[in-house]
């Protein structure tokens, strides 16, 4: 019997309507930032609600960096960042000249340990940058209480969290500054892209971000322009915006499918010997961008490289989200060996299982069966 098709750990959902939307933009002759970008920003504002202003960028990394710059964060300042996150979260702090201060994370939530954050706050702290890991919101009430008490800004790295909710409110509909990613592997993709959500009352910040995403230019009604600051170029194209607009129409349905698939992972794994490595389940507000499991590889007589190869040979793609930043060459020199133990444990053991809207319940069952087989885990099969 032939092996089933290869199942990647993620796959974007691109339908014919999206392809036609891109073709329409290409036929229009206007492919860079224009009407599609404006419509995408307006539709994101309507989706988020909460009297917000949204400005889209070519990518979330550039958006995060320019947000820090717009807030005046630079040399001599400190930004508290989770030790378990993608490199961009910390790199942008370094790129503006500020110092990264790593907070440990919860072993099951993978989110910032706010008790650790409270101990790290100091006179040079200018911002806290939480990550809503895998789409599970950080404890927003506690986070913002800490920020208010310390008089610091909050820059939410919501790269995983478009469509996520905290107590019924969409992430990005409230709070300080919130940055989303629309990379190809995200719940909503514009192939490459990102967006910043800020309060509509903060017009100065909105205008500053507009300047920083496009050469520092201030355009005049007669077509001339002034240059107000040194800046780079992070504008989104109309081609990408047209894809994002189509994706936004399906986002809530897709996130519901992700939650359903995640629930089936729990059904198949919570009575397994692998259950201690399951992520926190969360509630209906979880966006389930990723489903990451902790596997103590040595306990099963293997390592992650051999595990990945074995799963791949069985037609299952898996990922690593992420190595702990304190264990990387760049950041390891700054962090003592005993610091951030949870992040380091996760970094050694994390495995990302397939999760995307086009998957089926049978796909989940196949992944779990293959996982148990590769690790030689004895378990009671679940129907």
Domain residue spans in the chain? 16-244, 248-375
Percent of the chain with pLDDT over 90: 94
pLDDT in tens, 237-254: 999 999 999 999 999 999
Say if residue 232's pLDDT is above 70.
yes
Inter-residue contact 112 to 82 (CB < 8 Å): yes
Determine the average pLDDT of the residues in 313-340. Answer: 92
Which CATH number fits the domain 248-375, given the four candidates 3.30.70.141, 3.90.1150.10, 1.10.3720.10, 3.40.50.1000? 3.90.1150.10
Task: Name the nearest CA neighbour of 196 among 41, 71, 51.
Answer: 41
Span 367-376, average pLDDT: 97
- If you average pLDDT over residues 21-33, what whole number do you get? 96
Going by pLDDT thresholds of 50, 70 and 90, the confidence category of residue 221 is confident
Q: What is the pLDDT of residue 338?
A: 81
Q: How confident is the model at residue 222, as a pLDDT?
A: 86
What is the predicted pLDDT for the residue at 223? 83
What's the rounded mean pLDDT across residues 181-209? 97
pLDDT of residue 318: 98
Q: What is the pLDDT of residue 376?
A: 93
CA 192, CA 206: separation in Å to the nearest integer?
21
Q: What is the pLDDT of residue 339?
A: 94
Q: What is the tens place of the pLDDT at every residue in 57-89?
A: 999 999 999 999 999 999 999 999 999 999 999
Name the pLDDT band for 379 (thresholds 50, 70, 90): low
What are the two backbone dihedrals, phi and then psi, of residue 306, each rounded to the nearest 5 degrees? -65, -35
pLDDT for residue 18 is more than 70? yes
So what's the architecture of 16-244 in CATH? 3-Layer(aba) Sandwich (3.40)
CA 160 to CA 131: how far, in whole Å? 8
Average pLDDT over residues 88-104: 98
Residue 378's pLDDT band (cuts 50, 70, 90): confident
**Is residue 365 flagged as an active site residue?**
no
| pLDDT for residue 383 | 39
pTM of this prediction? 0.96
Across the range 159-176, mean pLDDT stands at 98
Of 186, 219, 233, 365, the active-site residue reads: 186
pLDDT in tens, 264-300: 999 999 999 999 999 999 999 999 999 999 999 999 9
pLDDT for residue 291: 98
Task: State residue 127's pLDDT score.
Answer: 98
The pLDDT of residue 220 is 84
């Amino acid at each position: 019997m032939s092996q089933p098709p290869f199942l990647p750990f993620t796959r974007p959902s691109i339908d014919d309507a999206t392809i036609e939307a891109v073709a329409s933009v290409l036929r229009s002759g206007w492919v860079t930032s224009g009407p599609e970008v404006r419509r995408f920003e307006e539709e994101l504002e309507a989706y988020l609600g909460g009297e917000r202003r949204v400005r889209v960028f070519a990518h979330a990394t550039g958006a995060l960096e320019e947000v820090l710059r717009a807030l005046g964060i630079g040399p001599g300042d400190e930004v508290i960042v989770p030790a378990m996150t993608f490199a961009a979260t910390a790199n942008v702090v370094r790129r503006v000249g500020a110092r990264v201060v790593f907070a440990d994370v919860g072993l099951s939530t993978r989110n910032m340990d706010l008790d650790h954050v409270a101990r790290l706050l100091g006179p040079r702290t200018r911002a806290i940058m939480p990550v809503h890991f895998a789409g599970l919101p950080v404890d927003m009430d506690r986070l913002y209480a800490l920020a208010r008490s310390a008089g610091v800004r909050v820059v939410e790295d919501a790269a995983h969290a478009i469509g996520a909710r905290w107590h019924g409110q969409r992430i990005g509909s409230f709070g300080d500054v919130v940055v989303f990613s629309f990379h190809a592997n995200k719940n909503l993709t514009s192939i490459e892209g990102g967006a910043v959500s800020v309060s509509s009352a903060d017009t100065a910040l909105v205008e500053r971000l507009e300047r920083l995403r496009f050469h520092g230019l201030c355009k005049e009604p007669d077509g001339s322009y002034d240059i107000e600051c040194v800046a780079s170029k992070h504008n989104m194209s109309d081609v990408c915006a047209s894809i994002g607009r189509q994706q936004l129409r399906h986002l809530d349905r897709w996130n519901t499918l992700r939650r359903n698939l995640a629930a089936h992972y729990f059904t198949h794994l919570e009575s397994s010997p692998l259950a201690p490595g399951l992520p926190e389940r969360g509630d209906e507000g979880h966006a389930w961008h990723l489903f990451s499991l902790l596997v103590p590889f040595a306990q099963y007589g293997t390592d992650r490289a051999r595990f990945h190869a074995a799963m791949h040979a069985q037609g299952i793609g898996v990922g690593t989200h992420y190595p702990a930043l304190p264990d990387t060459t760049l950041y390891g020199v700054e962090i003592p060996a005993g610091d951030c133990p949870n992040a380091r444990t996760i970094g050694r053991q994390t495995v990302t299982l397939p999760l995307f809207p086009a998957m089926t319940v049978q796909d989940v069952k196949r992944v779990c069966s293959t996982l148990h087989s590769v690790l030689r885990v004895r378990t009671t099969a679940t129907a």
